Structure 1
C-alpha cells in the first residue's frame, strides 16, 4: 500500500555518507534506501501507478527535500493517497480533529460492542459526543494509544493487561546536525532519507535532510560536547565557543540552514526498555530493563566528526541533549506489545486485545523489539496482516 521503491538519485549528503563508508572500509555496506515516493518525471502527471488505476493521480518526485515537512508536489505516498483514499471511496466517514477520551463496553460486558466517547481536539471548550461500535481499533501512535489505554485500564477497561505502558522502545538513536562551511554544497536536494550505511550488524547511519528554507531546528542546536553532569557540559559549551568562535558564529548565522546542514540519524538495535506511567503532567517514563538511553553515544559522535571532516563542517546536537542528557528519538515504539497471553502482552499475534472481543491495536505500540531502523513498513505490514484476518463485509463497490 505504501509503494516503497529504491531511491534512484544520490545527492551530496548521500555521497558523503558513501565516502564515510569507504574510509571505514565498509563501502559495501552503503546502499540507497527504499522510500514510499513515486519516482516518475517531476513535470508529468500519471494515472495511479499502484492500484490498477483505482487510486489518485500522481506526480513524479522533484527531489526538493521537503518530505519531512509535507510533500507539496503529490509524489510522496501519504495516507490520504492510499489507506484513507480507499476508505473514503468505500464510504468510510473520517472524523477529523477529534480525540477519543473513553471507550465503554456496551451492556457492561466484554463480548464486543463499545460506546466510543470523543471530543474536539482543537477546542478548549467542546461538548463530548459518542458513537456505538461493534468493534474498535486503537491506532493513535504510541503517544496516543498508550496514553489512552493507561487511562482506560484505570476506568472503563479494567481487564486490559498489566503490560500496558511497558516495553517502550526507541531505536537507541542519536540525532546530530553537521553544518558545512562550504557554500557550494547543498544538502537540501534529494528525498528526506536517501541512503543508509550499516556500520556494523547492530548500527546504522542515515543522512536526513529538510527542504530549503526549513531552518527552525537551528534555534535548538548547541555544540556537540560531553560531560558527566549539566555543569560540566555547560562549561564545555563555553570552552567550545571560545575555542572555535568563527565556526560557531558561522553555524548560527549561516544563510539557509537546511541547505547547509545534514542531519545524521544514528540507530542501534540494542534493547533497553522503558515504561510509561500516567502522571499529573501526562506520560512519565521510567527505566524497565537494560541500560538507560543516553544522549551521549561515543560511536555516533565519532561518525559525526568523521562526516564533518568530509563535508568541511561542524557537528551540533539538540540543546536538550547537551543540557539534560535527554536523548531524542524519531521512532517511539511499544507499550501495547504482542504476547502469548495477558501476562506477557497486551495483544495476541493477530493484534487482538487480551480481555476484550472485537478490539485491536494496530500502530507502533504493538512492536515488541527494537528494529534499529525506520519501522514504518513493519508497522503497516503487521497491521495489514491483522486486518486481513477479519472477515470482509460485502460492499457495493469493489477495488481491482
Structure 2
C-alpha cells in the first residue's frame, strides 16, 4: 500500500486522484505546505537558495508524478513583489553611481542576450527539422532569452507553437536555476561583490507605507500591460525611494523567504505529466543548448568582468540565460553584486520584450530564419 493511502478514506485511491477531489483552496494549502517543508529541509542541509529551489523541485516532481498541485497567480505576484521590493532597497545614491559607471557593460549584456537567443533559435531549428508544426517563429521565440509568458505570446502572434515555446523556456529556466547556484556553492563563490541595502531596520509604519507605495507601482504597470509588473513596479518604486535617500523600512526576512517559496511553486507547477511527453527530441535539444549557453555565458562574463572591474561570478549572474527574479534572488542570497545583476536583467528584459518581435520580422523578411 502506498504511504499516502493511509490517510485516504478510500484504500485504493491513488494520491493524485485523492488530491484532485479536494477543493482548490485545500489543494493550494497542501501545495504550500509541501513547498514550505521542502524549503525547510533544503535549509537544514545547506543547499543554495533553499526557499526557492526546495519548493521548485518538490512541486515539479509532484506535478510530473501526476499530483494536481495548485499554484496561484496572486501568490506568484506576491512573490514577485517581495523580490522586486527587496532588490529596490539596494539602490542607494552611491550604488546608483556604481551602476551608471558600468552602463557600457550592461549595454554589452543586452547585445549578447539578443545574439545568444538568435543563435539558440537557429540551433533548435537545425536540430529539430521534421518536427510537426515547427516553424521559424517557434524556434526563434523558444530561443530568445526573455520571459516565458512574453515570448510565448509573441510566438502565438506570429503563428508559432506555444506549447513548444513554453516548454523550452521552462527547461531553460529550470536548468539555469539549478546549475548556477549549486555550481557557485561548490566553488565557494559567495560574498565577493557585497552590497548592503539602504534601510537596515524594520519599522512598522514605514513598512506599511512601503508596501502600499510599491503595490501601487506594480498595479499601475499591470494596468498598462507591462511585463512582470509585480517585479518591475515594486522595484522601480523602492529603488526611487532609496536612491532619493528615503528609507522607510527594511523587509522582514520572512517576507523574502515567502516570496522565494511562491516563485518556486509558480515555476514548479509548470511541469505536468504531459510535459515529459512533449516532443522528447525537442526537450533534449533545448537542454543541450541551455548547457552550451551557460558555458558561453561563463566565457563572456569572464571577458566582460575584466573590463568592468567586477567579479566574473557577478557578471555571469547578470548575463546568464535565467529569469530576472531567479537570478536576482541568487545574487541577493549569495551577496554577488545585487544592483549590478538587477540592472543587467531589467535592461535586458526590457530590450528583449521590445525588440524580439521587430527583429524577428526583419530577419524573416530577409530570409535569414529559413
Structure with bigger helix share is: 2
| Larger Rg computed on CA atoms | 1
Q: Which TM-score applies when normalising by structure 2? A: 0.24
Q: Which TM-score applies when normalising by structure 1? A: 0.23
